[in-house]
Amino acid sequence: MANFNEHDLTDEVISSFANTPNARLKFLIEETVKSLHDLVRRTELTFEEWNQAIEFLTRTGQTCTPLRQEFILLSDVLGVSMLVDAVNHREREREGATETTVLGPFYVGEHRVTPHGANISEGIDGEVMFVQSRVTDLAGKPLAGAEIDVWHADDDGFYDSQKADYATHGPSLRARFVTDVDGRFSFRTILPCSYPIPTDGPVGDLITATKRHPMRPAHVHFLVKAEGYEPLITHVFLDGDEYLRSDVVFGVKDELIARVEPKSEPALPNGERVSGPWHLMSYDFQMRPGAGLVPQPMMSAAE
């Protein structure tokens, strides 16, 4: 007859998964049960607190839509996304490869290849910024034909996929480039700004209740792929942003901070004439040999 107490219940639950055919799944379930049961015992969780947790997770799921993934946002603000990234990329810093960071919820998949120097911010207000970059191996050899997806928020802190007209107007402030024989690519855009994660859902309630700010420092996303090399998922952050040391999703690494130089020349590096000041971001990416999964587009949330 079953009569489990708080100490032997955990073992009984774990044993119920003993016939799980997938060894990795069995291990993950067992470790999850151990951690959850230990949390309940250590905190002496009350029924009220347990119900509040269930209600919070229920609301988190209900907030998800095809254009918003609140669970990604929850993972981000709890530092889980960056912890998974760190565990899976322990060797990169030692080898000299460019550091990784979170993919974020606004990657929507591949776009058509865009010419070097193209303006990906057509019709978007903001200060002009020109990005020039190079992709190499760990020894500095240029990688021709590497594919780079880029995306970032607008001057108001919104990504194109957050806007109601995204389906009809298509992408903006995002594009795909292919490196030339010297491993180079470049594009014109606008200067990104720091912005808040969405706070109108349960994750926002959590941030408010815990007196945390919801801000992310200004950055541009890059997803770099080259044959024979691990895909690189990263951001390049703008030096001087006030939130570099308090990113709400813990995504900043010192090596990913780039100085953006103010410029006053009448022409951009691609020869395009401009009136007034503009900004130049230069950053090179070092790829690590190997293979890896290319991320699949996920439902957008807000990062």
Digit-coded pLDDT (tens) for 246-267: 999 999 999 999 999 999 999 9
Question: Model confidence over 31-50: pLDDT tens digits?
Answer: 999 999 999 999 999 999 99
The average pLDDT across 170-176 equals: 86
235 carries an active-site annotation: no
- The catalytic position among 68, 107, 152, 159 is 159
**pLDDT average, residue stretch 48-60:** 98
Question: Where is pLDDT greater, at 174 or 7?
Answer: 174
The better pLDDT of the pair 96, 235 is held by 235
Would residue 195 show up in a list of annotated catalytic residues for this protein?
Answer: yes
Backbone conformation region of residue 236, classed left if phi is above 0, alpha if psi is from -120 to 50, else beta = beta
pTM score of the predicted model: 0.88
Name residue, tokens 């960056």: 82
Over residues 114-142, mean pLDDT: 95
| Residues 242, 234: Cα–Cα separation, whole Å | 20
Q: Quick check: is 37 catalytic?
A: no
Catalytic site residue from 68, 152, 216, 235: 216
Coil, strand or helix at 28 = helix
Tokens (6 digits) for 247: 């990113």
Does the structure show a pLDDT above 60 at 1?
Answer: no
User: SS3 for 203?
Assistant: helix
| pLDDT above 80 for 151 | yes
Confidence check: pLDDT of 69 > 90: no
Instruction: Please identify which of the residues 68, 134, 221, 288 carries the catalytic annotation.
Output: 221
pLDDT (tens digit per residue) in 197-212? 989 999 999 999 999 9
- How far are the Cα atoms of 29, 31, 36, 88 from residue 24, in angstroms, in the given order? 9, 11, 18, 16
| Beta-strand relationship, 184-190 and 128-136 | antiparallel
User: Is it the case that residue 165 has pLDDT exceeding 80?
Assistant: no
Active-site annotation holder among 195, 229, 243, 283: 195
Out of 188, 219, 235, 288, the active site residue is: 219
303 pLDDT more than 50: no
Residues 6+ apart with CB under 8 A from 260: 129, 191, 238, 239, 279, 280, 281
Which residues on adjacent β-strands are paired with residue 262? 279
| pLDDT band, very low/low/confident/very high, at 300 (cuts 50, 70, 90) | very low
pLDDT of residue 167: 67
In the DSSP assignment, the letter for residue 296 is P
Distance CA(296)–CA(115), nearest Å, equals 24
Is 281:85 a contact under the CB 8 Å cutoff? no
Per the annotation, the verdict on 166 as an active-site residue is no
**Average pLDDT in the chain:** 91
Task: Give the span between the Cα atoms of 15 and 148, in whole angstroms.
Answer: 47
Is 243 a known active-site residue? no
Length of the chain: 303
